[in-house]
Chains A and B, each alone.
Chain A
């Protein structure tokens, strides 16, 4: 298994050139550049007003090791500090080019300039040194979406099994969705590696509790009860088990990366302001972007009802636990965990298949979402101090 060695020492498993737009007005030019050169992907932030959270995401996505070089496209009058953005990304040692559509002289000239840079950068990316890599070089993000009554029985336990083995092999795993873990606080706190982690975890749980309380969400619904879930502890454990059973080695805030191997919890729950409810996660792609921004090379995504989510810069592996959905949406699913429900496979068997696939995809094999062309991203503004660490 080989990866791309970046100048800052980080290892990538993909070799994209990224075009980043800094306001919606520049989106079309950025898109046109990316569409005309294979190997170039587009992402960006739509707002004209700068947002600390979105800015942090753009910096970390630009620095992401799956990215070889970056072209920043601005309109010219948006408030986001594009010079600072370019400077922060360039601190990773990779090539960063930037253009202002207003200065360059409009759409056609900007697209032409962008295409020239993009072609050069793709050629340069092909020269990137490739090195042997192991689990120790890899960070996985774990997320779920479109869950159903099978999730806690098939997709999540088998993913958790693979996560445990991956960590034993020296790898790093990040999980998130803290508000969905309310109910298993005691168990989570027991798993904290040390007192610092325990205190940070407790602090995050308090904020998550306030958020859940204020929004009146994150409880056992009537539908959950009909499906057989009795308590909030049980429901939360069904979600948590996709992150395995290892001790929690650290708590990350939005945009922070793990400092060593092991299991990390990404706490992106902001403070509840008096006037504004902190937005926790607008959709699954919002969740994937925050995992990428914390350094995840690849995402393990569990589902029951079915998700098609992919990601602009990282492979997403879909693990589906509902046998009906596995059949109906077979082209989207990398791992069929439905056999656990049908009694034809065990958690260990599905977990073993997933672990093998993780290494194959890390080595370059495209995941289903990649093959199908899924390149989603979602970077909203997040007021309410959702990014305290900036």
Chain B
């Protein structure tokens, strides 16, 4: 439970960050989270995973602030990175 090392930096955040390499199937419990999430991919130290299902065009929050926009739908427990998230600035510059 609390032994799993992850950090959610703000209560508004819809992603959390792994503080150690976490294998697929790890159960993640966090305060303010209705039920535990199962990781559906390996998540390496410093990488993010979704705390809920996220639809295309939805904003991803870290530090309580948007860090980018979802480009491919994301399931709870899935790795959130370059393959499914783009920065707002980068998106703007691409038009």
Residues of A within 8 A of B (CB): 149-150, 153, 157, 183-184, 186-187, 225, 227-234, 237-238, 241, 245, 340-343, 347
**Is the beta-carbon distance between B5 and A153 smaller than 8 angstroms?**
no
CA distance A241 to B88 in the complex (A): 19
A/B pair count, beta carbons within 8 Å:
79
> Could you tell me the distance in whole angstroms from the C-beta of B18 to the nearest C-beta in chain A?
8
Confirm or deny: B65 has a beta carbon within 8 angstroms of a beta carbon on chain A.
yes
> Could you tell me the distance in whole angstroms from the C-beta of A210 to the nearest C-beta in chain B?
15
Confirm or deny: B55 has a beta carbon within 8 angstroms of a beta carbon on chain A.
no
**Is the beta-carbon distance between A234 and B67 smaller than 8 angstroms?**
yes
**Is the beta-carbon distance between A233 and B45 smaller than 8 angstroms?**
no
Interface centre among B47, B63, B80, by most chain A C-beta atoms within 10 angstroms, is B63
**Is the beta-carbon distance between A341 and B62 smaller than 8 angstroms?**
no
Residues of B within 8 A of A (CB): 2-5, 7, 9, 17-19, 44-48, 62-68, 80-82, 85-90
CA distance A186 to B19 in the complex (A): 28
**Is the beta-carbon distance between B68 and A231 smaller than 8 angstroms?**
yes
With A153-B7, A228-B81 in contact, is A237–B62 under 8 Å at CB?
A: yes
Q: List 15 A-B contacts (CB under 8 A).
A: A153-B46, A184-B65, A228-B46, A230-B81, A230-B87, A233-B65, A233-B88, A233-B89, A237-B65, A238-B63, A340-B7, A340-B19, A341-B19, A343-B4, A347-B7
Q: Which residues in B have their C-beta under 8 angstroms from that of A150? A: 46
Q: Which residues in A have their C-beta under 8 angstroms from that of B64? A: 245
> Could you tell me the distance in whole angstroms from the C-beta of B81 to the nearest C-beta in chain A?
5
**Is the beta-carbon distance between B82 and A183 smaller than 8 angstroms?**
no
With A149-B46, A153-B17 in contact, is A231–B63 under 8 Å at CB?
A: no
**Is the beta-carbon distance between B48 and A233 smaller than 8 angstroms?**
no
CA distance A238 to B65 in the complex (A): 11
> Could you tell me the distance in whole angstroms from the C-beta of B92 to the nearest C-beta in chain A?
11
With A187-B65, A231-B67 in contact, is A343–B5 under 8 Å at CB?
A: yes
**Is the beta-carbon distance between B85 and A231 smaller than 8 angstroms?**
yes
CA distance A233 to B67 in the complex (A): 5
CA distance A184 to B68 in the complex (A): 11
Contact of B82 among A157, A184, A225 (CB under 8 A): A225
> Could you tell me the distance in whole angstroms from the C-beta of B51 to the nearest C-beta in chain A?
16
CA distance A284 to B67 in the complex (A): 27
CA distance A327 to B60 in the complex (A): 34
Interface centre among A227, A228, A237, A340, by most chain B C-beta atoms within 10 angstroms, is A228
CA distance A347 to B7 in the complex (A): 10
CA distance A245 to B85 in the complex (A): 25
Q: Which residues in B have their C-beta under 8 angstroms from that of A228? A: 17-18, 44-48, 81
With A237-B63, A343-B2 in contact, is A232–B90 under 8 Å at CB?
A: yes
Q: Which residues in A have their C-beta under 8 angstroms from that of B5? A: 341-343
**Is the beta-carbon distance between A233 and B66 smaller than 8 angstroms?**
yes
Q: Which residues in B have their C-beta under 8 angstroms from that of A341? A: 5, 19
Q: Find the A residue at minimum CB distance from B83.
A: A230
CA distance A5 to B59 in the complex (A): 51
**Is the beta-carbon distance between A233 and B19 smaller than 8 angstroms?**
no
Q: Which residues in B have their C-beta under 8 angstroms from that of A343? A: 2-5, 19
CA distance A183 to B5 in the complex (A): 28
Q: Which residues in B have their C-beta under 8 angstroms from that of A157? A: 9, 63
Contact of A230 among B65, B68, B89 (CB under 8 A): B68
CA distance A241 to B64 in the complex (A): 11
> Could you tell me the distance in whole angstroms from the C-beta of A248 to the nearest C-beta in chain B?
14
**Is the beta-carbon distance between A232 and B87 smaller than 8 angstroms?**
yes
**Is the beta-carbon distance between B90 and A231 smaller than 8 angstroms?**
yes
Q: Which residues in A have their C-beta under 8 angstroms from that of B18? A: 228
Given A225-B81, A229-B46, A233-B87; 15 other pairs, CB 8 A cutoff: A153-B17, A153-B46, A225-B82, A228-B18, A231-B90, A233-B65, A233-B68, A234-B62, A237-B65, A241-B9, A340-B7, A341-B5, A342-B5, A343-B4, A347-B9
Q: Find the A residue at minimum CB distance from B5.
A: A343
With A149-B45, A341-B19, A343-B19 in contact, is A231–B86 under 8 Å at CB?
A: yes
Q: Find the A residue at minimum CB distance from B65.
A: A187
Q: Which residues in B have their C-beta under 8 angstroms from that of A342? A: 5, 19
Q: Find the B residue at minimum CB distance from A229.
A: B46
> Could you tell me the distance in whole angstroms from the C-beta of B72 to the nearest C-beta in chain A?
13
Q: Which residues in A have their C-beta under 8 angstroms from that of B87? A: 183, 230-234
> Could you tell me the distance in whole angstroms from the C-beta of A276 to the nearest C-beta in chain B?
27
**Is the beta-carbon distance between B82 and A230 smaller than 8 angstroms?**
yes
